[in-house]
Structure 1
Amino acid sequence: MDPQLLAPGIRFAVTDRTGGVSPEPFDSRNLGGATADDYANVLRNRELTADQLGLAADRVVWMRQVHSAEVRRVDRPWGADAPPLDGVWTTEPGLALASLGADCAAVLLADPVARVVGAAHSGRAGTTAGIAAALVAAMAAGAGAEPGRMTALIGPAACGRCYEVPDAMRAEVAAELPEAWSTTSWGTPALDLPAAIAAQLTRAGVAEIRQDGRCTIESPELFSHRRSDPSGRFASYVWLAD
């Protein structure tokens, strides 16, 4: 979980389940405030995680994620008044942006020349709505970012071998995003959201696209709503180094 370099002067991290204070079934580093875990545990987990990443806990932006394509610029955390949205971006050094997940993918973006970073939460509905491309466009329009200079990271998510859906849903999503069409390892209809997100970013002109590659359903070190309900949430962070 140590911070890694996404682009020059820009760091990111993806948390795991361990190292927190939450009891079962949220054991132990649950960072999701919209779970049935005691919120005091979530706040303590967020503090511990920020400290481990070298961040100030009061300088982390958390979104009220609603599976939308809504994106906004931020220069400080919202606290308890976070609006409903699924993408944020900033030019503020040391202000970390966090995207929660437990099968949905985080999308982290960085333009090291424009000195701007962004984070999105891209589940099935958000991916279909185009949240990743909306974040690219917002960073370009608001901060002079250029997609050709951007580096993107697609975080852990339910993979196309495991994300089973009804046949009609697969057809509906694939009509908009052909790259999402998939089949589970046991032969039933599925969606490959990381592949669809990568295709969206490519069409938006993003130069470098990385993928964490881990499937949340197959990786016990990560939370997965499909594998275990109720479940906690892990987070993907991105920030401009001071």
Structure 2
Amino acid sequence: MRLFDTHCHFDFDIFQGDFDAQLKSANAQGVSRFVVPSIGSSNWAQVQQMAAEHASIYFALGIHPYFLHQQSIDELPTLKELLNQRGNQCVAVGECGLDAMVEVDMVLQEKVFIEQVALATYYQLPLILHCRKTHNRMVQILKQERFQYGGILHGFSGSYQQAMQFIELGFYIGVGGVITYPRANKTRQAIVSLPIEKLVLETDSPDMPLNGYQGKPNHPKMIGEILACLASLKGMSRQTIAEIVWKNSNSAFGICE
């Protein structure tokens, strides 16, 4: 079966010792496509280079709210220029969004997020959304900006109602390691109720380790275990789920299967 990790930071230092071996270990588990979102200007060049060297790797360009600083405003013209010059492997704007759990001024967060939504609209690209404790405000902004190109709500850990707000705006829901934790009952129940046609799989490697792997770096090769958990929750076969989420993942990013 073909698996797609729609959100992994495969460019981070922890994977760089022998990247070809890291990639092969994921491929051995059936993971044949990856999207590596950037976090800011510090790794825009790196994710582009990684995709240039590996046909199975796609990337997104954006500014993550966690890494925002006052100079981020000045970097937006560079981001626009990079998007203007992008090739086919640049499939989204992101990772971008709002985060109420970090000590970054929310006025600045909203300004930079709105600018990135505008860029995604201008270039007709989907968004990869980072959202912590800001669901309602993010939905409000997306509606206010009349954003129409969908994307993925990354690292979902909310309620059914919250997920449906984003689905109604054209987004897919990124399902990761959180569903492997029995205590994450609200999120697990939401995933059971959400339409499978609107779900995609992700690891957020090296973050968001699965249950039983706490304290260890996460890896794209773990997608199969997230798939198995999703199949169990949904009462469907792994093969059926794999085929559906493969199609969803490519559709979310406008990639030909």
Q: Could you say which structure has the higher strand fraction? A: 1
Structure with bigger RCO (C-alpha 8 Å, 6+ apart): 1
TM over 0.5: no
- TM-score normalised by length of structure 2: 0.35
Q: Could you say which structure has the higher helix fraction? A: 2
